[in-house]
Structure 1
Amino acid sequence: MTLIDTAPIPGGGELRLFQEGAHYSIKIAGTGDLMSTRMHGSEDALADLACRRIAARAQPCVLIGGLGLGFTLAAALKHLAPDARVVVAELVAGVVEWNRGPLGAHAGHPLGDPRVDVRVADVASVLRAATQQYDAVMLDVDNGPDGLTHASNAWIYGAGGLNALYAALKPGGVATVWSAGPDRRFTERLRKSGFAVEEVTVRAHGNKGARHLVWVASRR
């Protein structure tokens, strides 16, 4: 495995891009893989579970928090019509550049799609600025509600962030949130914020690999 590049995380820390043969992985110092091009089934499911519910709407606008390896974005684009708009908020500028470079081919170069508006920004600030703007929001900004990668991510998973998420959705809109595992307290916080909540177990690679969790939270 070869270290290809590093990228600073605003506020502290560093992401590292590794290559092993034809595949790539992103790690954070002191942990294992955050994500890998070898397995992206649960990232695909994050988009599938949201976009299937809103794809028939006229000119849908969706927000993806966390670009990652581009697989969630690519899966969302497959469901959405040519008049859709997809806003992607990625905190780490280096991740955007990696997707425009060596990572792009693995997800089919989704950043080149004209429907995509990619912003180097904290998704929290994007949510705070939105009122009934999005038909769907897909969040994959960390390993789950613990805020492993970036301390400020904890706000998104707390009451303030979930209230902002609810307000950012159009009536009947849906949010999906990725996690490495279940968290009963987070489910309760979603419900207290007004969402109808479904917990969906998904696999990292097709019907194999680690079991991850996606919360499907619908605005009433």
Structure 2
Amino acid sequence: MLPWIHLATATMPDGATLRLLRRGAEFSIRLRDGNELMNSRLAASEEALATLAIERLAGRRAPRILIGGLGMGFTLRAAQAAAGSDARLIVSEIVPELIDWATAHMADVFGDCLSDPRVELNTGDVGAVIRAAGAAFDAILLDVDNGPNGVTRAGNDALYGEAGLLAARRALTPGGVLAIWSAAPDPGFSRRLSHCGFATSVTKVRAVRAKRGARHTVWLATQRSE
């Protein structure tokens, strides 16, 4: 078996270290302790985050879609395939090195998706973008820190806690969709979404396009009718 080769290191705002590794055509992004956050072979559930949400936007003209976390681009590329030519796809990535890795090391993974004129790629905290917005987005897609029970940034609680969810609700247009990816189920988070005024469905999605393997969780939340 081919060995893993260390390509690059990045430091997150809270001081956590990310490592990019490659084995043949396979890439992995891990914490220093070896905990894997992303793998280029495991794309299906991150793709579903985009396709399931955009299905709910059918018929909307020029939708504005905010994507929290660039990662390996799985969610972005799925959104590009599912959204129309008039869509606007705004990607917010807090670790600038991940943007550099997309072209410097993972060009074969990303292809030409970052040159799509529909895409706006920004360095910064997606939570700050959400808090500053007022009914600006038709969909918000969050794939940040493995979901509500994240492992890298304590600050992600500001996204998935009550205050963060209420901010997301305010940032959505009427009938807009908040879609959240998680490595694991979390019934408590489903209750928190409901408490914050969202009608929510939960979908379990395979990590790979196969009948076996790990399942991840996708929440689709829309403003509940009062």
Q: Could you state the TM-score of these two structures normalised by the residue count of structure 1?
A: 0.97
SS at match of 1:187: helix
CA contact (8 A) 2:10 2:97 kept: yes
| Rounded Cα–Cα distance in structure 2 between residues aligned with 1:73 and 1:51 | 12
| Rounded Cα–Cα distance in structure 2 between residues aligned with 1:74 and 1:104 | 13
**Alignment gaps of 5+ in structure 2:** none
| Rounded Cα–Cα distance in structure 2 between residues aligned with 1:51 and 1:105 | 26
Match of 1:158 in 2: 161
| Rounded Cα–Cα distance in structure 1 between residues aligned with 2:7 and 2:112 | 19
Match of 1:212 in 2: 216
SS at match of 2:52: helix
| Rounded Cα–Cα distance in structure 2 between residues aligned with 1:174 and 1:162 | 12
Amino acid across the alignment from 1:29: R
| Rounded Cα–Cα distance in structure 2 between residues aligned with 1:107 and 1:53 | 26
User: What is the RMSD computed on CA atoms of the aligned residues?
Assistant: 1.1
Cα distance per residue 1:147-200 (max 9 Å; x no partner)? 311110011110000000111110000111011111111101100111100010
Paired residues in the alignment total 220
| Rounded Cα–Cα distance in structure 2 between residues aligned with 1:199 and 1:104 | 33
SS at match of 2:56: helix
Superposed displacement of residue 109, structure 1: 2.9
| Rounded Cα–Cα distance in structure 2 between residues aligned with 1:185 and 1:175 | 17
Amino acid across the alignment from 2:133: A
Match of 1:84 in 2: 87
Cα distance per residue 1:90-139 (max 9 Å; x no partner)? 01001111112322322433211111111110111000011111011100
Superposed displacement of residue 15, structure 1: 0.9
CA contact (8 A) 2:134 2:172 kept: yes
CA contact (8 A) 2:103 2:110 kept: no
Match of 1:177 in 2: 180
Match of 1:111 in 2: 114
1:16-35, aligned counterparts within 5 Å?
A: 16-35=19-38
Give the counterpart of 2:78 among 65, 75, 86.
75
Give the counterpart of 2:136 among 130, 133, 137.
133
| Rounded Cα–Cα distance in structure 2 between residues aligned with 1:173 and 1:93 | 28
Cα distance per residue 1:25-67 (max 9 Å; x no partner)? 1001114211111111101001011111114311100000011
Give the counterpart of 1:167 among 149, 167, 170.
170
SS at match of 1:209: coil
| Rounded Cα–Cα distance in structure 2 between residues aligned with 1:112 and 1:72 | 16
Q: Could you state the TM-score of these two structures normalised by the residue count of structure 2?
A: 0.94
Identity %: 46
Match of 1:100 in 2: 103
